[in-house]
Structure 1
Amino acid sequence: MSTQTAPEPPTALEILQRVFGYESFRGDQAAIVETVRAGGNAVVLMPTGGGKSLCYQVPALLREGTAIVVSPLIALMQDQVDALLSVGVRAAFLNSTQDFEERERVENAYLTGQLDLLYVAPERLSSPQTKRFLANGNVSLFAIDEAHCVSQWGHDFRPDYLALGELADLWPDVPRIALTATATEATHREIRQRLHLEDAADFVSSFDRPNIQYRIVNKAEPRKQLLEFIRSEGDGQVGIVYALSRKTVEATAEFLRANGINALPYHAGLPAEVRAHTQARFLREDGMVIVATIAFGMGIDKPDVRFVAHIDLPKSIEGYYQETGRAGRDGEPSVAWLTYGLQDVVQQRRMIDESPGDAAHRRRLGQHLDAMLALCETVECRRVNLLAYFGERGTACGNCDVCLNPPQVWDGTVPAQKLLSTIVRLQRERNQSFGAGQLIDILRGKTTPRTQQWSHETLATWGIGNDLSEPQWRGVIRQLLARGLLITQGEYGTLALSQTSAAVLQGAQTVPLRTEMARIPRGSSSAKRSALADLAPRELELFEELRAWRASEAQEQGVPAYIIFGDATLREVAQARPLDESRLAGITGIGQKKLERYGADLVDVVRTYLER
C-alpha cells in the first residue's frame, strides 16, 4: 500500500514568479518577506516604486489565514483589489462605499477563510466592532501602509493611525509590518513607538529615486511657466500639478484646459462623486493632468506619471518627497518641477505665525520650512541635499538642474547691508515697516504715490540700490528670508531684522547669493529620454499596437490599464515578438494567471502585426 506525501509548500520565490511574474526579489524584499513569513515584525522604509506591496503580499500567500491591510484611502481600495484579483489572489475590501449585501459577502468570505488579503481603512479598524469581527477569523498578518501617517509631527498625520498600536496587544502572536516611503529619523522613531514595533526588524532602503530629475525655477508667471514646462515634456504626458489653495487649483486647471491641456481640478471642496470620477479618469485614461491640493495622490499606483509639478512651495521636504515620488513609479525617467518665489516664503512664514498650537509646534513648522528653503536655494546637487535630509549620504547626481547648469554665486553682502539699513532707518526714524515692494521702490529710487505719501525720497538710502533690477532685489530678499537674515511679521508680512542681521550690517558676515535658479537647456528633459528610445522603429510600432489592445481590454473590464500590464511588460513583448505563449514565460509582469488569461491575445497582436 503506497502512501502519498503532501506536496511541499511553495517558496517565496516561487510565489513571486508564478503569481506576480517577477524573476527575482529586489533589495531587501526577500529578507523582509522571510521575516514576516516566519512571524516577525518589520518596519520598512522604501521609496515609492521600490516594491513595498510585495513585502506583505507574498507573505500573505505563504502564511495561513487572511492578511489585513490598512490602507488610508477608500477611493483606491477597488483598484488595489482589482490588481490582486487579476493575478489570481483572493482579495477584497471593507469600506463605506459598499452596500449591506456586499459587506456581508466579504465578511463571510473572511470568516470562512476564502480571502488571502482584506483591505480596511484605519478609521474602520480602530472601531471595537471591526476588531471583534476580525477576532472571529484567522488573521495571518497586519500590514500598515503609509505608516508615516502615525506621526503627529509629520506632514500627513491621521489620528486614527494612533489606535493601530492596540493591534500588538489584541493579536500578540500575529506579525505586523509597517511600510512608508517617507520618514525622517524622527518619524521613523515615532512609527516604532506609536505602533509598538520596538522589537521589529528595520529595513531602510535608499531614498534615492535616480529616475526623477529635480528642477526648481524662479517664480515669475507661474501658470505660463507651468504651461511651457508641460509642453516641453511632449504631448499626452500624464502628470500631477500641486497647489496650496482650492482657488489656485481651480484657476490653474481652467487655464491649462483653455490652452489645450487635458486637465481637471481635484480638492476636498468638490463633491465626493466628482472627486471619485476625476480620480477614476486619471487612473484609466492616458494623457490626463490633475491639478490638486495635497488631498490627491496618496496610494496612487499609476506607474506612468511622467511629471509632478508644484506651483506653490511645499510646507516640508517630507511632503515634497512624498508628492514628487508619485512620478515615475515604473522606473522610467520623470521630472519633479517646482516654481518658487519671494511671496511663497512670506506666505509660508505668515501661515506658521498664525497656526494654532504652542511655540514648540510653530518652531517645528519653521524647521520644516527652513529645510525646504535650503533645498530650493542650494548651490549644490539637489539630490544630495534631499537625501541628506533623510540621513543618507549621496553623490552629485549629474541629472538635477543644479548639476546640469550650476548657478553662479556672487557676493551679496553690500546689497544685503543696503536693504537691512533701509529697514532699520524706517523703523527708527519713522516707526514704519513695509513689505518687499515698498522697500525695493525705495532702494531703486522709484517715485510712486506711496513713496510720495510717506516722503521716502528724503531717506538716506533712497536710490542707493538702483544698480539691481526689481527681480534681482526680489531674489536678494527671498534668499535673505531663506537664510534667516530677514523675518516677516504681522498680518501683512512686513520685513524686519532677525537676530542674525546685525553681523551682516557690521560687516562680520558675508552673504553669498546665487544669481537665479538653475535652468537646464531645452530638450534635455529626462522624461523625454524614455526607455522607449531604445526600441527600434518596428518595435515601437508593435508597442503602440499592444498599448491599443491593452486600452481596449481595460475599458471592457472597467479597470486602469496598468492592472492589465505595465508599459515595461509591453515593451519586453514588443522586443521579444513571441509567436507562441511559451515565449511569454519569464517576461516581467506575466505570471501564471495573466499568462492563462492574456497569453493568446498578446501572441495574436504580435502575429497580426508581423503578418502585415
Structure 2
Amino acid sequence: MEQPGINARAQHILDSVFGYPAFRGQQAEIVEQIALGGDALVLMPTGGGKSLCYQIPALLREGVGVVVSPLIALMQDQVDALDEVGVRAAYLNSTQSFDEMVQTERKLRRGELDLVYVAPERLMTPRCLELLESSKIALFAIDEAHCVSQWGHDFRPEYIKLSVLHERFPEVPRIALTATADQQTREEIIERLQLQNALQFVSSFDRPNIRYQIVEKANARKQLLDFIENEHPGDAGIVYCLSRKKVEEVAEFLNASGVTALPYHAGMETATRSANQSRFLREESIVMVATIAFGMGIDKPDVRFVCHLDLPKSIEGYYQETGRAGRDGAPANAWMAYGLQDVVQQRRMIDQSEADDGFKRVQGAKLDAMLGLCETLSCRRVRLLEYFGQGASPCGNCDTCLNPPVSFDATVPVQKLLSAIYRVDQRFGAMHVMDVLRGVDSDKIKQWQHEQLSVFGIGAERGDAEWRAILRQAIAMGLVAVDHDSFNALKLTDAARPVLRGEKKILLREYQKPVSQRKKGVKPKGYVESDLSTQEQTVFDKLRWWRVETARKHNVPAYVIFHDATMREIAKARPASLDDLRHVSGVGEKKLETYGAEIIALMAELA
C-alpha cells in the first residue's frame, strides 16, 4: 500500500538536504518506485542525476542504502560529498585499516548510517554478507550496472555474482544504474541481476552541451596541443590513449609544452596513480592523460573536454568516456584524432584475441558501428543516438553540422585501389599498395617488378594522404581486410566484387587537408563559457578562489564544496542574507549552515 506523502517527503529532502528546487526528468518516478519497495533499471546519461535516484530513497526508507560501486578510489570523494550535505555515509573497501573497517561495521549494525559504499569483491565475502544480514537494509543500488555484460566494453566478472542480492534479500528493493547500455546489454543486466519485474526508466541519451568533433590524424600530438591551447586554455580535461607507453609520452609532451598534465594507467605504482587522480579531482586546470582504466564514476563536474588519441573499441565506450565532460551542463568538447592505423589496430586486436568466434563477431559489429560514427557524412549526434535506439534531428553543434563534409562518387578511385591490391597478389601492406597506385619509383617496387603492372601509377593524381583516407574508408566499409598473419597484407573481401564489376556505387568523404588553428586563446564560435556579466565574472572568480582555499582546509575536492553552476547562480544573485542564499540551487540546509556566513561576508566585501 502506498505510503502517504512519499512524493512530498522526497521533495523536501531534495530541497533541504541537496538544495535543489525540483526533480529533473524521471527522477521523481524512480525515487517513488524504489522508496515504495519496487525494483528499477535506470539508464540515464552522465550528469543526469543518477545518484539522487538511490540516495533519496535511502533517506526515505528505514535502514541503510548499500551502494555497489566498482571503483574504490572514488568512494572517499562520494562519502565526502554526502558528509558535506549532512548525510551519514561511509564505505567498506581495502584502503581501510582493520580498526576503521570494524568501526564502520559497528555503525552499520547499529543503524547509524544512511548509505554505505561497497566494492563488489568485498560485498561477496562471507563476512560482508553476514554483516548485511544482521543489519537493516533500505535498498541495494548497483552502480555502473553495464559491468555485468560479458559483451560490453567494461565487463567485471564479480558483477555476475550480484544475483545473490535478490536470492538472499528478496524483500529489499534493488536499483541498477548505468549511463551506457544498448538493448542487448539491457537484456543481459535484467537476466543476470534477476530484474525481470523491475520497472525500466530510459532517459534520453542526448548530451546537448557536448560538441562532438573527429579530425583526420596528421600529427596527433600537435593537433591535440593546438586544440587545448586554442579552445580550452586553463581548463580541466581528460586525454585517452590505448597504451601505457603512449600515456606517459603524451603527458610528458603536454608538460613540456606548458600544459599541466598527469599520467594514469594500471602499470603505475598504486600510490602515484592515486595521488594523480586526487590532484585531478581536487585541483583545477589539470589534464589527465590516461588509459580507459581511468574515469568510471568520476564525479568531477567541470571537465571541459575529453580527447581520444586512439579509436575506442565501441560506441558504448566512446559515449561513456566522452560523457565525463560537461557533467555540470555547461558547454564541453569531445574531440578525437582518427586515422588509418586506428582501423588496422582495432581490427588486429579483435582478430588476434583468444575469444570465441561469437564474441569476435559481436566486437567486430561494435567496431563497425564506431567506424560508421567516424566516417559519417551526416550529424554525429544523430548517428550516436540512433545506436542507442533514439531518434533525433541534426544538432547543429557537431563538426559535421558546423562544417558539413563533402561527399564524392569514389567508385573509380576505389576500383583503382581494389585492382592494385589484387594485382600485387594481396601480399603487400598499405604503403606498398599506395606506392604502386601513385607510381613511386622505390627499391621495393623494382625488387618485385611492380612498375610493370598495369595499375602502376593509375592513381598518381592523388597524394598519399588522400589515398590513405580512401583506404581507411574502404577498410571501414568492409571492402578491404588486413591480414595480420601476413605482415598486414591488404586483401579483398567478398564485398569488393560488386564494386570491381561496377555493380555498386561508392560514396566517400572527400579528403580535407587539416586547416591551421585559430589564434591561441580564442574560443570556437558558439562556445559560451557562461552568461555572466563582467561584474558577475569578478564575483565568480572570487568565489572560485574562496572554494579552492575552503576545499584545501576540508581536504575535499573543490566541487564537493559547491559546483560551478551553483557559484554562477550566487554570482548572479549576489545574496545579501542567508535567506537569499537559501534560494540558490545547490545550497541545502547543511551547506547554508557551514558556508553561508562566509559567502554573505564575501558578497558584502564585493558590494
Q: Which amino acid aligns with 1:447?
A: D
CA change 1:175–1:519 in 2 (3 A) is: farther
The one of 236, 239, 246 equivalent to 2:237 is 239
Partner of residue 140, structure 1: 138
The one of 431, 446, 461 equivalent to 1:437 is 431
Q: CA deviation at 1:423?
A: 1.4
Task: Give secondary structure in 1 for the equivalent of 2:104.
Answer: helix
Q: CA deviation at 1:529?
A: 1.2
TM-score normalised to the size of structure 1?
Answer: 0.96
CA distance, structure 1, for counterparts of residue 523 and residue 564 of structure 2: 22
Q: Which amino acid aligns with 2:529?
A: S
CA change 1:527–1:248 in 2 (3 A) is: farther
CA change 1:313–1:114 in 2 (3 A) is: same
Partner of residue 465, structure 2: 471
CA change 1:8–1:242 in 2 (3 A) is: closer
CA change 1:438–1:381 in 2 (3 A) is: same
CA distance, structure 1, for counterparts of residue 403 and residue 231 of structure 2: 19
CA distance, structure 2, for counterparts of residue 262 and residue 589 of structure 1: 30
Q: 1:458 aligned to 2:483?
A: no
Superimposed CA distance per residue, residues 432-454 of structure 1 (whole angstroms, 9 cap, x where no aligned partner)? 51111111100000111211221
Q: Which amino acid aligns with 2:313?
A: K
Q: 1:530 aligned to 2:505?
A: no
Q: How many residues align?
A: 598
The one of 533, 545, 549 equivalent to 2:546 is 549
Partner of residue 295, structure 1: 293
CA distance, structure 2, for counterparts of residue 120 and residue 8 of structure 1: 27
CA distance, structure 1, for counterparts of residue 365 and residue 523 of structure 2: 34
Superimposed CA distance per residue, residues 210-243 of structure 1 (whole angstroms, 9 cap, x where no aligned partner)? 0000000001111011001111123211000001
The one of 252, 259, 262 equivalent to 1:261 is 259
Partner of residue 197, structure 1: 195
Partner of residue 567, structure 2: 570
CA distance, structure 2, for counterparts of residue 519 and residue 266 of structure 1: 30
Do the aligned residues in 2 keep the contact of 1:113 with 1:138 (CA within 8 Å)?
yes
CA change 1:350–1:140 in 2 (3 A) is: same
CA distance, structure 2, for counterparts of residue 213 and residue 524 of structure 1: 13
Q: CA deviation at 1:128?
A: 2.3
Q: Which amino acid aligns with 1:230?
A: I
Partner of residue 347, structure 1: 345
CA distance, structure 2, for counterparts of residue 8 and residue 496 of structure 1: 64
Mean Cα deviation higher: 353-362 or 489-498:
489-498
Do the aligned residues in 2 keep the contact of 1:488 with 1:495 (CA within 8 Å)?
yes
Task: Give secondary structure in 2 for the equivalent of 1:606.
Answer: helix
Q: CA deviation at 1:609?
A: 1.3
The one of 275, 278, 299 equivalent to 2:276 is 278
Do the aligned residues in 1 keep the contact of 2:232 with 2:523 (CA within 8 Å)?
no
Q: Which amino acid aligns with 1:358?
A: D
Q: Which amino acid aligns with 1:529?
A: V
The one of 126, 129, 134 equivalent to 2:127 is 129
Partner of residue 582, structure 2: 585
Mean Cα deviation higher: 515-524 or 164-173:
515-524
Q: Which amino acid aligns with 1:495?
A: L
Partner of residue 3, structure 1: none
Do the aligned residues in 2 keep the contact of 1:22 with 1:586 (CA within 8 Å)?
no
Q: CA deviation at 1:481?
A: 0.5
Task: Give secondary structure in 1 for the equivalent of 2:17.
Answer: helix
TM-score normalised to the size of structure 2?
Answer: 0.97
Q: Which structure 2 residues correspond to residues 130-529 of structure 1 after superposition, within 5 A?
A: 130-427=128-425, 433-491=427-485, 492-516=487-511, 522=518, 525=524, 528-529=527-528
Q: Which amino acid aligns with 2:462?
A: L
Do the aligned residues in 1 keep the contact of 2:368 with 2:476 (CA within 8 Å)?
yes
Q: Which amino acid aligns with 2:280?
A: F
Q: CA deviation at 1:493?
A: 1.9
Q: Which amino acid aligns with 1:480?
A: A
CA distance, structure 2, for counterparts of residue 170 and residue 203 of structure 1: 25
Q: Which amino acid aligns with 2:440?
A: K
CA distance, structure 2, for counterparts of residue 309 and residue 12 of structure 1: 38
Off by >6 Å, runs of 4+ in structure 1: 7-10, 517-521
CA distance, structure 1, for counterparts of residue 121 and residue 304 of structure 2: 32
CA RMSD of aligned residues (A): 1.5
Superimposed CA distance per residue, residues 104-150 of structure 1 (whole angstroms, 9 cap, x where no aligned partner)? 11000000000000000011112222111110100000000000000
Q: CA deviation at 1:528?
A: 4.0
CA distance, structure 2, for counterparts of residue 499 and residue 166 of structure 1: 47
Task: Give secondary structure in 2 for the equivalent of 1:398.
Answer: coil
CA distance, structure 1, for counterparts of residue 525 and residue 92 of structure 2: 40
Q: 1:110 aligned to 2:108?
A: yes
Q: List gaps (5 residues or longer) in structure 2.
A: none
Do the aligned residues in 1 keep the contact of 2:230 with 2:523 (CA within 8 Å)?
no
CA distance, structure 1, for counterparts of residue 494 and residue 585 of structure 2: 58
CA change 1:488–1:591 in 2 (3 A) is: same
CA distance, structure 1, for counterparts of residue 350 and residue 40 of structure 2: 35
Superimposed CA distance per residue, residues 370-395 of structure 1 (whole angstroms, 9 cap, x where no aligned partner)? 00000000000000000000011011
CA distance, structure 2, for counterparts of residue 359 and residue 324 of structure 1: 30
Do the aligned residues in 2 keep the contact of 1:335 with 1:526 (CA within 8 Å)?
no
Task: Give secondary structure in 2 for the equivalent of 1:23.
Answer: coil
Do the aligned residues in 1 keep the contact of 2:212 with 2:334 (CA within 8 Å)?
yes
Q: CA deviation at 1:490?
A: 2.5
Superimposed CA distance per residue, residues 510-569 of structure 1 (whole angstroms, 9 cap, x where no aligned partner)? 1111113798995563784122xx111111101100110010000111100000001111
CA distance, structure 1, for counterparts of residue 572 and residue 472 of structure 2: 51
Task: Give secondary structure in 1 for the equivalent of 2:67.
Answer: strand
Q: Which amino acid aligns with 2:54?
A: Y
CA distance, structure 2, for counterparts of residue 464 and residue 581 of structure 1: 77
Partner of residue 599, structure 2: 602
Task: Give secondary structure in 2 for the equivalent of 1:306.
Answer: strand
Superimposed CA distance per residue, residues 139-180 of structure 1 (whole angstroms, 9 cap, x where no aligned partner)? 000000000000000000000101111111100000000000
Partner of residue 4, structure 1: none
Superimposed CA distance per residue, residues 242-299 of structure 1 (whole angstroms, 9 cap, x where no aligned partner)? 0100111111111111100000110000000011000000001110001000010001
CA distance, structure 1, for counterparts of residue 411 and residue 396 of structure 2: 30
Q: CA deviation at 1:8?
A: 10
Task: Give secondary structure in 2 for the equivalent of 1:113.
Answer: coil
